[in-house]
Structure 1
Amino acid sequence: MTAAKGFPAFPPQRAGARFATSWWGRAWLKALEDTSLDHTLLAKGRAFAKTGQLGPITVSEGRIAAVASAEYSAVVHISPLPDWDRFLEQVAAKAGHLAALLDGDMPYDLVELLPGVGDLEPDCECPDWGHPCKHAAALCYQASWLLDRDPFLLMLMRGMDKDDLLAALQQAAAPSGTPVEEAYAHGVPPLPRLSSAELPAAEPLEVEPAPGVDPAAMRVLAADAALRARELLTSGAAAVLTEYHDRVRLAAVHDLDIGLPAAVQSWRYGGAHALDTLTTAWTPPKQAVARAAWQLPGFEAARNRWTLGEVQLRYGKDGRWYPFVAGDGDWHPAGPAESDPAAALAVARGAD
């Protein structure tokens, strides 16, 4: 069944009321006025439209219609759009096109949707020989108000209902290839392993000064991105970091002063695990606690930390031992982690 939309009759308008205010509504009226053979009848049509003498308007594919003065039926036939496939490609090519239409706006590059001279064919039962008569002209003038509110009506007039149009656009925009659910079900494949010799040397990024842009900071971020990419390509993996971890990592790798010397030093000794061991206490498994009690006699144990005087060993969640020494009222990392607590103790005593 042909799609159709009905609209109630417009009431009488104030004297200075304008017709179309949108660019597409004005283009619609230009097509009407270019088609007219009698501008006197157009003036009468404008007056007829403003005084509310037209009945309800029906918009359907290829035509608009209304009863005029409860006596005559005025109809305007609109030529169908010659190439809907091409038009749909234009709309689908830019995501903003459909968004604009749904927001009640029509992009300028969809101008081919607008009727031109010869695309409007008025028809009325009145005895007026004008082309168009005042009734058909009034119908077109009132239709411009409807088009201002909803540009999809112009598409209906040109031969395609809004629902059919949206369905066609959805089909045109349907992605090809593997569905998302299927792709995620395969998991993430490993990255190709490359040797450092296969990768080109990173070149410093040159950034021009600009408002709101810190060239030095941009150079650091670009160098860091290149470094992380190299790590991914050579190791096949990279840890997922929190904002705090990444801030400390940036400072440690690029020698930045962020006011957290112990955290930066921990990262340099052992990355994220060392930083977590610096900041977080936790309860190790019983086997690790029993081994430490045997190898670290005399040490005072508190969760994952064993302390004796100015030396402290911390057991990390990675199963390694991190040496610390006391200083300035706090504990500071003393060296890289060791798999054996005795070896970590030797490092701590050597740094003490």
Structure 2
Amino acid sequence: MPAARPRAVAGERRLTFDRLPPREEGAALAGTPWGEAWLTALTERALDPARLARGRRYAEGGRVDAITVTPGLVIAYVHGSRPRPYRAQVRVRTLDDDEWEAFLDAVAERPGHIAALLDRQLPEALLEGGVGSPLLPRRGDLLPFCGCPDTGRPCKHAAALCYQTARLLDADPFALLLLRGRSEQEILDALTRRNAAHAARAAAEARAARDRDPAVPQGVRATKALSRAASGLPPLPALLPPPAHPGHPPAFPAAPGGPDPYALDQLATHAAARAHALLTTGEDPVGGLTLWQDAVRVAAARPGSGLTAATRTLYSSLAAAAGRTPVDLARAVAAWRQGGPAGLDVLEGDPWDPPAGRFDRARPLLMAAGLAPFRPWRNRLTHPVGHAQLRLGQDNLWYAYESEPDADDWWPRGTADPDPVAALTALGPGLDPAELPPEPPHH
């Protein structure tokens, strides 16, 4: 992997990179094919390995100042044993116009090459001589010079500059392209013009093919197709059948300082499921949700029930965006998992008076199951000790809640059920009426 790109000040055909820090112990001298080729060209030309070794130590010690790259030239000041630094430079042959045209044609032929350049990568197919002329320097391509009295080629100062330049090329291959004669903007502008010309040629060829073959359907201008006076137009093609299930999003790699891959995967999965529902039913399953409801939905979709470090971070950010606390969100998530939007309404909605019928039949059903007589209030039935509660939702389902005895801190438990006894099964043991105080007499 190339190193992080050093900060550069860019001119029209000039890049000045900040002074690179000392190289970390054990780090490779170059991490890309183009960086390695640069060092190979340096070592093959060198006449004195000892000078190279000293230059490498200078580079590793951070003795090379800011590096300026222009077409055919790399320049920097290098600090040696004397107080005053020496001006070192390396010259490289630039490509002529024909060689650049061959290179740009090779890049434009494959969209993957353009994408790689934008990602500051050089595909191997572009590095060698198959595109007209090799980008990588070869033996004899690097011509080092220095203002020091050493007559070696290269001296240790010029060698240090070469080693640091390899690190720059690792991080930004456009520096290599600039050395060969073209700036980043010139290359991107030339590729844009080639893409436009290619699209124009493709459109002309398509028109010519339609003219030669009457069987090829003719196009219709959008203004004509959408006008009220349009008539005699062919029918629209049949719609493709919808897929059986939402598509799977691509894998998102982790990157230092980048977004959480799991969060990206979760958002992409939600978007795919929402798009599939719209396509198959014409209805948006989450379009009517409030900000708070959608925050609860997103949090509830995260698997597991434990609050891991990643989950706590997610809960904190979602709760802050909705103006609530993480505890509010955790309680709401339990309600959402219990019954979706209806479960959240049961948690946060006001108590209400249900009509006679299902609510009145619940207490006899509970007593027939050997449970204590729950105390009714509005749409709620509460255990005499106060640690279990049933709430009847507007959907006529029963929702179980649990709290510490003698506390008013109710948390949803289990799954909503039309049977009040079945809804209580999520609370487990501990509802034995023998352990409860007698119910006070009713007057």
Q: TM-score, normalised by structure 1?
A: 0.51
Paired position in structure 2 for 1:345: none
1:78 is the counterpart of 2:92:
yes
Paired position in structure 2 for 1:160: 182
Give the Cα–Cα distance (whole angstroms) in 1 for the partners of residues 92 and 102 of structure 2: 19
Letter in 2 for 1:81: L
Paired position in structure 2 for 1:303: none
Give the Cα–Cα distance (whole angstroms) in 1 for the partners of residues 122 and 203 of structure 2: 35
Give the Cα–Cα distance (whole angstroms) in 2 for the partners of residues 11 and 178 of structure 1: 48
Residue from 124, 127, 130 that aligns with 1:108: 124
Say if 1:192 and 1:160 are closer, same or farther in 2 by CA, change over 3 A: closer
1:46 is the counterpart of 2:52:
no
Give the Cα–Cα distance (whole angstroms) in 1 for the partners of residues 215 and 138 of structure 2: 62
Give the Cα–Cα distance (whole angstroms) in 1 for the partners of residues 108 and 236 of structure 2: 39
Deviates most, 236-245 or 65-74: 236-245
Residue from 22, 26, 31 that aligns with 2:41: 31
Letter in 1 for 2:45: T
Residue from 94, 101, 110 that aligns with 1:94: 110
Give the Cα–Cα distance (whole angstroms) in 1 for the partners of residues 136 and 24 of structure 2: 28
Deviations 1:66-86 (A, max 9, x none): 111142100001110242111
Paired position in structure 2 for 1:146: 168
Give the Cα–Cα distance (whole angstroms) in 2 for the partners of residues 98 and 40 of structure 1: 41
Structure 1 residue 17: Cα displacement: 2.6
Deviates most, 13-22 or 103-112: 13-22
Structure 1 residue 135: Cα displacement: 0.8
Letter in 2 for 1:172: R
Residue from 129, 140, 157 that aligns with 1:135: 157
- Say if 1:124 and 1:133, in contact at 8 Å, map to a contact too: yes
- Say if 1:192 and 1:236, in contact at 8 Å, map to a contact too: no
Structure 1 residue 243: Cα displacement: 4.6
Deviations 1:188-228 (A, max 9, x none): 99x9479xxxxxxxxxxxxxxxxxxxxxxxxxxxxxxxxxx
1:55 is the counterpart of 2:74:
no
Say if 1:238 and 1:125 are closer, same or farther in 2 by CA, change over 3 A: same
Give the Cα–Cα distance (whole angstroms) in 2 for the partners of residues 193 and 48 of structure 1: 72
Structure 1 residue 172: Cα displacement: 2.5
Q: Give unpaired runs (5+ residues) of structure 1.
A: 195-234, 248-352
Say if 1:242 and 1:36 are closer, same or farther in 2 by CA, change over 3 A: same
Letter in 1 for 2:238: L
Structure 1 residue 244: Cα displacement: 6.1
Give the Cα–Cα distance (whole angstroms) in 1 for the partners of residues 149 and 95 of structure 2: 31
Paired position in structure 2 for 1:123: 145
Say if 1:52 and 1:237 are closer, same or farther in 2 by CA, change over 3 A: same
- DSSP-derived class of the 1:173 partner: helix
Give the Cα–Cα distance (whole angstroms) in 1 for the partners of residues 95 and 118 of structure 2: 20
Say if 1:175 and 1:62 are closer, same or farther in 2 by CA, change over 3 A: same
Q: Give unpaired runs (5+ residues) of structure 2.
A: 1-10, 128-133, 217-231, 245-443
Give the Cα–Cα distance (whole angstroms) in 1 for the partners of residues 37 and 150 of structure 2: 26
Residue from 234, 238, 244 that aligns with 1:241: 238
Structure 1 residue 37: Cα displacement: 1.2
Say if 1:84 and 1:243 are closer, same or farther in 2 by CA, change over 3 A: closer
Give the Cα–Cα distance (whole angstroms) in 2 for the partners of residues 86 and 73 of structure 1: 35
Letter in 1 for 2:188: L
Say if 1:164 and 1:178 are closer, same or farther in 2 by CA, change over 3 A: closer
Say if 1:110 and 1:242 are closer, same or farther in 2 by CA, change over 3 A: closer
Residue from 7, 10, 31 that aligns with 1:21: 31
Give the Cα–Cα distance (whole angstroms) in 1 for the partners of residues 241 and 191 of structure 2: 45
Letter in 2 for 1:240: P
Give the Cα–Cα distance (whole angstroms) in 1 for the partners of residues 109 and 233 of structure 2: 37
| 1:168-187 → structure 2 map (5 Å cutoff) | 168-175=190-197
Deviations 1:37-65 (A, max 9, x none): 11111111111100111111111111111
Give the Cα–Cα distance (whole angstroms) in 1 for the partners of residues 85 and 65 of structure 2: 10
Give the Cα–Cα distance (whole angstroms) in 2 for the partners of residues 193 and 139 of structure 1: 65
1:4 is the counterpart of 2:4:
no
Structure 1 residue 182: Cα displacement: 11
- DSSP-derived class of the 1:74 partner: strand
Say if 1:71 and 1:239 are closer, same or farther in 2 by CA, change over 3 A: closer
- DSSP-derived class of the 2:161 partner: helix
Give the Cα–Cα distance (whole angstroms) in 1 for the partners of residues 178 and 184 of structure 2: 7
Give the Cα–Cα distance (whole angstroms) in 2 for the partners of residues 239 and 57 of structure 1: 61
Structure 1 vs Structure 2: percent identity of aligned residues?
Answer: 41
